Amino acid sequence: MESCIIKSPLGFTKIIGDAAGVVSITVLNSEEKPTDIIPLELEDCVIQLNEYFEGKRKQFSVNLNPKGTNFQKRVWKALEQIPFGKTISYLELSKQLGDVKAIRAVANANGKNPIWIIIPCHRVIGSDGSLTGYAGGLHRKKWLLEHESPNKQQSLF
């Protein structure tokens, strides 16, 4: 398993993966030294994440290999279908997965998403439009949704 650390607008980001695909992308809550030489297996992921942050990429084509239960993987696959710049509620996601009563299990699986940004768990919000829970912190979720928004906020100051 290879790993690297890159600097992103939201903090230092650790990427783990191998020839089978990316296993994990996490934002770190501490300063780390960025990796000098990116492992070959992770180069494409790093390039695509940088393009995303530069506003040049809306979809990813990185091979993913997240570890989780079958149910979690099903939820994560559903998350990948949420288009760039769009959001969905936990309730809507539960309905799409065929069981409205599974909303808590869906939210739990969403919170255990090991592949930050590429599996876009940040696009899931509360039914009332609120920015509910986000493992990377609500300030990062807000930034990501604003970054993807087709209607950029203008500052008056």
Separation CA 71–CA 108 (nearest Å):
11
Question: What DSSP string describes 13-49?
Answer: EEEEEETTEEEEEEE-SS--PPPSS--GGGHHHHHHH
Which among 121, 124, 125, 144 is annotated as catalytic? 121
Q: Based on the number of CB atoms within 10 Å of its own CB, is 81 exposed (0-12), middle (13-18) or buried (19 or more)?
A: exposed
45 noted as active-site residue:
no
Q: Could you list the active site residues? A: 121
